[in-house]
Amino acid sequence: MSLDLKTDCATMDQRAQDILRGNDRGGFTVPTNGLYPYQFNWDSVFAAWGFARIDLVRAWEEIEKLFDGQWPNGMVPHIVFRQYDPDYFPGPDVWGCTHAPVITSGISQPPVAASCVTRLYAMDPELGQAKVAVLMPKLLRWHRWFIEWRQSGGAICVHHPWESGRDNAADWDGAMAAITPGDVGNYTRRDTAHVNPAMRPTDEDYDRFLYLVQRARRLGWDEVRLAEDAPFRVADPGMTFVLLRANRDLEQLAGIVGHPTEEIAGWTRMLEKGAAGLWNADLGAYDSRDVLTGAFSNALGSTSYLCWYAGLTDDRMVPALERTLRDVRYPMPSLDPGDGRFDSLRYWRGPTWAPVNALVGLGLQECGPPGTGEQLRKKTAQMIASHGFAEYFDPRDGTSAGGGTFTWTAAVWLAWASPSAREVA
Ligand code: GLC
């Protein structure tokens, strides 16, 4: 189906707005009703970017509410629970985190917030000035937390697969297999009651996910104790590129509010060095690396293509980029279809996700090979227009998967993919 720009675009824009408003729970959004009934970190930032098209004050509010969950050590958690909802597992009772004024999870997520704040500011500097002044120290503390507790050789590591935002990606297979979860007790997954289990992580994954949460809870979520004999520590190009970009944007924000930039600039240099260390020459791509064993994951995923977004113009990634844009109907697959572990509908083991496409696309539009960013934007628009505002999509034919009426897919439509969004991208 080809998109009739004049009529379909207006209808799609309206539907996307309705989804954002429908998932609004009073100043913050949930990713989708039922499956994810809480505020999630990077989902909210994408929501803010989408809201910025229709209501800039509401966009700022989304980010402000996310920081309600910030811990005294600077960490901004991946879930802000606020209240208990029996529809979601593992809920606040499992995490046991009472470190912030609101109840949260105990791990973080890709730090896209500073980059979004830069965009919101640019849309209305007069409104943005006071907002940036309040958010600047919070963003700074969060970035510092990453450098202090999640950095190895300049690259950013995850201590739980959920921290990456890509729960069951092939990147974690080796490190996950090395974990013996033991007895994690009886529990009932809630995700598989909402969507087809074939589209979700396996039960073996879940035992390990829970084991890591239970261990951290036992150690009081104390980063010093957690770092000793950490059972899972994987350096991730996705996190490294996102923080590198966010850090460049943070430096710009610091300039706006007259905050010193030396510390931030130092982090940028450190992250550039760390990113370089994630180049896997055998794979011909940036790759995640198990810090405990030194082994690469040999997984070419969509976040490997975030190098341009991070401001690194790397011609070595061009062959894989061109092949993927040419051969995959709806790029960027979360795992390369040529990989034996590719599973077209299983979450982060193959499907295409609109928010990652938006970041990759922005990077390509800014400094990638000419035309590639626009190509990805158009294909993403076509995918959403033809298959709806799903959580994610089969890269081979666009089949929609996971939850429906999804906040970040609607937000990415409004902010980047929609033909009407081009002038603000
Ligand atoms: C899943 C995704 C994660 C996202 C969350 C809410 O856990 O892997 O990236 O933040 O759902 O949408």
Q: 110 CB under 6 A from ligand 1?
A: no
Confirm if 342 and 334 have CB atoms less than 8 A apart: no
Active site residues per annotation: 167, 391
Angle at which helices 41-51 and 5-22 pack, to 10 degrees? Answer: 130
- Tell me, yes or no, if the pTM score tops 0.75: yes
* Rounded-to-integer distance, Cα 251 and Cα 369, Å: 26
Q: 31 CB under 6 A from ligand 1?
A: yes
What are the domain boundaries of the chain? Answer: 8-417
**Distances from the Cα of 157 to the Cα of 152, 153, 206, 338, angstroms:** 7, 10, 20, 26
Q: For residue 43, which atom of ligand 1 is closest to its CA? A: 10
Q: For residue 391, which atom of ligand 1 is closest to its CA? A: 12
* Rounded-to-integer distance, Cα 44 and Cα 63, Å: 7
Q: Which of 35, 167, 213, 392 for a ligand 1 pocket mutation test, highest count of atoms within 8 Å of Cβ?
A: 167
Q: 88 CB under 6 A from ligand 1?
A: no
Q: Per-10-residue mean pLDDT for the chain, 425 residues long? A: 69 97 98 96 98 98 98 98 92 95 97 98 98 98 98 98 98 97 93 92 95 97 96 98 98 98 98 98 98 98 98 95 98 98 97 98 98 98 97 98 97 97 60
Distance in Å, CA 166 to ligand 1 centroid: 7
Q: 355 CB under 6 A from ligand 1?
A: no
Helix ranges restricted to H, 23-112: 41-51, 56-66, 92-95
Tens of pLDDT, residues 10-33:
999 999 999 999 999 999 999 999
Residue nearest ligand 1's atom 2 by CA: 165
What is the CA 95 to chain-centroid distance, rounded?
A: 21
At residue 229, the pLDDT reads 92
At residue 314, the pLDDT reads 86
At residue 83, the pLDDT reads 87
Distance in Å, CA 308 to ligand 1 centroid: 23
Write the single-letter amino acid at 197: P
Distance in Å, CA 72 to ligand 1 centroid: 24
DSSP annotation of 9 reads: H
Q: Which of 33, 38, 41, 43 for a ligand 1 pocket mutation test, highest count of atoms within 8 Å of Cβ?
A: 43
At residue 3, the pLDDT reads 61
Q: Using H for helix, E for strand and C for coil, what is the string for 268-328?
A: HHHHHHHHHCCEECCCCEECCEECCCCCECCCCCHHHHHHCCCCCCCHHHHHHHHHHHHHC
Q: 163 CB under 6 A from ligand 1?
A: no
At residue 424, the pLDDT reads 43
What would the CATH number be for the domain defined by 8-417?
A: 1.50.10.10
Secondary structure of residue 156 in the 3-state scheme? strand
Instruction: Give first-to-last CA distance, the chain, whole Å.
Output: 24
Distance in Å, CA 125 to ligand 1 centroid: 31
Distance in Å, CA 103 to ligand 1 centroid: 18
At residue 422, the pLDDT reads 73
Tens of pLDDT, residues 342-362:
999 999 999 999 999 999 999
Q: 167 CB under 6 A from ligand 1?
A: yes
Structure tokens given for 366: 């800014």
Q: 40 CB under 6 A from ligand 1?
A: yes
* Rounded-to-integer distance, Cα 127 and Cα 26, Å: 21
Tell me which residue has tokens 């700074």: 140
Beta-carbon contacts of residue 3 (< 8 Å; ≥ 6 apart): 9, 381, 382, 385, 419
Tell me which residue has tokens 């509410």: 65
Secondary structure of residue 104 in the 3-state scheme? strand
Q: For residue 32, which atom of ligand 1 is closest to its CA? A: 12
Distance in Å, CA 38 to ligand 1 centroid: 11
At residue 4, the pLDDT reads 65
At residue 44, the pLDDT reads 98
381's torsion region: left (phi>0), alpha (psi -120 to 50) or beta? alpha
Write the single-letter amino acid at 101: P
Looking from the CA of 389 toward its CB, the CA atoms found within 13 Å total 26
Distance in Å, CA 404 to ligand 1 centroid: 13
Q: 416 CB under 6 A from ligand 1?
A: no
